[in-house]
Amino acid sequence: MNPVMAFFDIILVLALPWLGWRLLASPDLFRAVVLFMSLGLLMSLTWVRLHAPDVALAEAAIGAGLTGALFLSALRRLERLQNSERRLDDAEKREEERQIPPEKRRRAKPVAYGLALLLLVVFMLLLGWSLLKTPVSPGGLGPEVAVQMGRTGVQSQVTAVLLNFRGYDTLLEVMVLFLAALGVWSLTRVGQPLQEEVSGPVLASLVRMLVPLMIIVAGYLVWIGSSRAGGAFQGGAVLAAAGVLLLLANATVVRQIPSTLLRCALVLGPLLFLLSAIACMSIGGNLLEYPRQSAGAWILLIESVTAFSIGVTLAALYAGGRPFEPSALEETSGESSAGDGEEGEGK
């Protein structure tokens, strides 16, 4: 092995657990988010060193990029809490602390640390025991996958496993992401867009240059996924990053998208995936067992539509709520105008 790469691998092995510990122990939320994104970037480098470029792309785009952006968005929303609510929470906490006797208060932290250490030791022992009991296969499932590649319609073994051999796993992952977006939309609505807010020239120029390029890269990742590293989740993550840039810039095109169109885009990928599974069973096959002659076309169609829905879903999660309804704004404005008119007549 190259000594330089061996030294680099040692640095990665030491840096990953250290960053994970600093992330969990950091009392500052912003610092924790930055450490989380740094951990994701190092994890993507680790997957590259393990010759897993598909996982590395997903980790860099979703784990470090979009998940970090979601955390920063959540942190920004937390910081917008009213000072009165914060003071009320602090007062309640101080009252609870005053009710705890000093001797119990001194013992609380050591007991909690000891319990956490005990759970960690038990988990490590169970993990080691499971690894010892797992039978060792010299070749893994690679040879079996290679034998069956002719019936998959693609050249990439990763895509064959994710979309053909174990396509139902990917279907469940897409459904989980879809349900997460529904959960966020059921809790709150995106605030009224402020049309008078104009992004700075630097951000506006960056959006104009990067968004078209990111759309092309996303399409390339979906297309190349049949033979090399790439696929629906990687392409969808790049599309979502483009959507996040448009949201940050408060672009007019985002405000003009009808909410009905966003809902259709959100459900399109999971619906097509599910209908494909049902169609495969209706023509005499198993769940997501595509016809051998057209398996590649099926997978390309599913990945293309799913990547689009994944991009919309992740961008919607960053927005933090269901889309704003222009009709609701018109009704609110109408009610306000009517109220003002009545007050004027009363005066």
Based on the fold, state whether residues 165 and 105 are members of the same structural domain.
no
322: β partners? 189
Mean pLDDT of 282-290: 84
pLDDT at residue 97 greater than cutoff 60:
no
| Enclosing H/E stretch for 205 | helix 201-224
Distances in Å between the Cα of 181 and the Cα atoms of 170, 177, 189, 280, 313 are 17, 6, 12, 27, 6
Mean pLDDT of 17-32: 88
Length of the chain: 347
Instruction: Identify whether 140 is part of a domain.
Output: no
pLDDT, tens digit, 9 for 90 and up, residues 215-229: 999 999 999 988 888
SS3 category, 318: helix
Mean pLDDT of 86-91: 56
pLDDT score for 92: 57
pLDDT at residue 329 greater than cutoff 80:
no
Q: What is the CA radius of gyration of the chain?
A: 25
Based on the fold, state whether residues 6 and 110 are members of the same structural domain.
no
Environment class of residue 299 by beta-carbon count within 10 Å: exposed (0-12), middle (13-18) or buried (19+)?
Answer: buried
Instruction: Identify whether 344 is part of a domain.
Output: no
SS3 category, 52: coil
pLDDT score for 190: 75
Based on the fold, state whether residues 298 and 192 are members of the same structural domain.
yes
Based on the fold, state whether residues 41 and 92 are members of the same structural domain.
no
Average per-residue pLDDT for the chain: 80
More confident position, 85 or 20: 20
pLDDT score for 45: 92
pLDDT score for 96: 57
Instruction: Identify whether 2 is part of a domain.
Output: yes
pLDDT score for 144: 82
Residue 286: phi and psi, rounded to 5, are -90, -175
Based on the fold, state whether residues 189 and 88 are members of the same structural domain.
no
Of 37, 57, 31, 32, the C-alpha closest to 45 is 57
pLDDT at residue 331 greater than cutoff 70:
no
Token digits of residue 55: 């996982």
Mean pLDDT of 306-320: 90
Instruction: Identify whether 139 is part of a domain.
Output: no
Please identify, among 17, 45, 80, the residue that sits at the C-terminal boundary of a domain: 80
Please identify, among 92, 116, 131, the residue that sits at the C-terminal boundary of a domain: 131
Alpha carbon of residue 204 to chain centroid: 25
Instruction: Identify whether 346 is part of a domain.
Output: no
Based on the fold, state whether residues 106 and 249 are members of the same structural domain.
no
Alpha carbon of residue 34 to chain centroid: 16
pLDDT, tens digit, 9 for 90 and up, residues 37-78: 999 999 999 999 988 888 888 888 888 888 888 888 888 877
- Residue 257: CA count within 13 A, CB half-sphere: 17
Based on the fold, state whether residues 93 and 50 are members of the same structural domain.
no
Based on the fold, state whether residues 170 and 94 are members of the same structural domain.
no
Based on the fold, state whether residues 109 and 20 are members of the same structural domain.
no
pLDDT score for 145: 84
Compute how many other C-beta atoms are within 10 angstroms of the C-beta atom of residue 13: 10
Distance CA(263)–CA(199), nearest Å, equals 27
Highest mean pLDDT among 102-111, 213-222, 323-332: 213-222
Token digits of residue 140: 């893994």
Based on the fold, state whether residues 257 and 333 are members of the same structural domain.
yes
SS3 category, 189: strand
SS3 category, 93: helix
Instruction: Identify whether 61 is part of a domain.
Output: yes
Based on the fold, state whether residues 103 and 68 are members of the same structural domain.
no
**Residue 249 pLDDT class (50, 70, 90 cuts):** confident
Q: Domain of 126?
A: 84-131
Structural domains in the chain (count): 3
Token digits of residue 210: 């990067």
Compute how many other C-beta atoms are within 10 angstroms of the C-beta atom of residue 154: 20
Instruction: Identify whether 147 is part of a domain.
Output: no
Instruction: Identify whether 69 is part of a domain.
Output: yes
Based on the fold, state whether residues 173 and 290 are members of the same structural domain.
yes
Distance CA(255)–CA(148), nearest Å, equals 48
